[in-house]
Amino acid sequence: MPSSTDKTALVTGATSGIGLAAARALAQDGAYVFLVGRREDALEQAVAGIGEGQATYIRADVTQQSDLDRVVATVEATGRGLDVVFANAGIAAVAPLGEITWEHYTTAFNTNVGGIIFTVQAALPLLNEGASVILCGSSGDVKANPGTSVYAASKTAIRSLARSWAAELVDRKIRVNVVAPGLTETPGLKELFSGDDDGLAALASSMPMKRLARPEEVSSVVAFLASDASTFMTGAEIYVDGGGSQF
């Protein structure tokens, strides 16, 4: 079984959905977890649910360098290095060609790409030998869906970042991998459908497994990549999408 006993982990986008499920899974596997997100009330609830002896929160926006500097300073002040970074924070913005705006593009790329670049870069000095860096991609990097071109492009960039960083950090024995979820039952997905339950149900039924993923099904893969059970994996991408990207 995967174990992260005595590891220290940082999870961004940890207030709900996949990020929160990953923080819980890492803590359950024995890690001390720093949860990062923008909503303090949700972070407080998340830490309370995990247990303050195994988690703490840092309110921060990953698109703001000053916030990332504060995250690193907070972790460093505890005297802990980092064994796991799950760069998860992201948004799923939709706009079809012909309606894409500069604001749509910059928001998607600043969060989904810039947020991951500068989160990992900020954490780099704290990464211990043997650390695992996990980037949250998407099965959208290989699966075409109308209206998602900018989002898919941002997630495709994450796949490229992982390959390059894995090569750059291999001599430090730091691993970099991508977990690529498909459609997952998260508050963000429900918000995207704005109460269109029938539309969401139709989308779920179009999947090979005829349902959406549960956040816990994605977080179990994150826990695996964080653990010593995956020590010979780097530069890889694991799809957790019920076969949606494969057939």
Which residues participate in catalysis according to the annotation? Answer: 151, 155
Distance in angstroms (rounded) separating the CA atoms of residues 59 and 233: 31
The position carrying tokens 């494969």 is 246
* Cβ neighbours of residue 183 closer than 8 Å, sequence gap 6 or more: 189, 203, 204, 207, 212, 213, 241, 244
CA–CA distance, 231 with 134 (Å, rounded to integer): 13
> What are the backbone angles phi and psi of residue 118, rounded to the nearest 5°?
-80, -20
* Long-range contacts (CB closer than 8 Å, 24 or more residues apart) made by 160-169: 161/113, 161/116, 161/117, 161/135, 162/135, 162/137, 162/235, 162/237, 163/235, 165/120, 165/133, 166/234, 166/235, 167/235, 169/127, 169/133
Q: What is d(CA 232, CA 235) in angstroms, rounded to the nearest whole number? A: 10
CA atoms within a 13 Å half-sphere pointing along the CA-CB vector of 43: 19
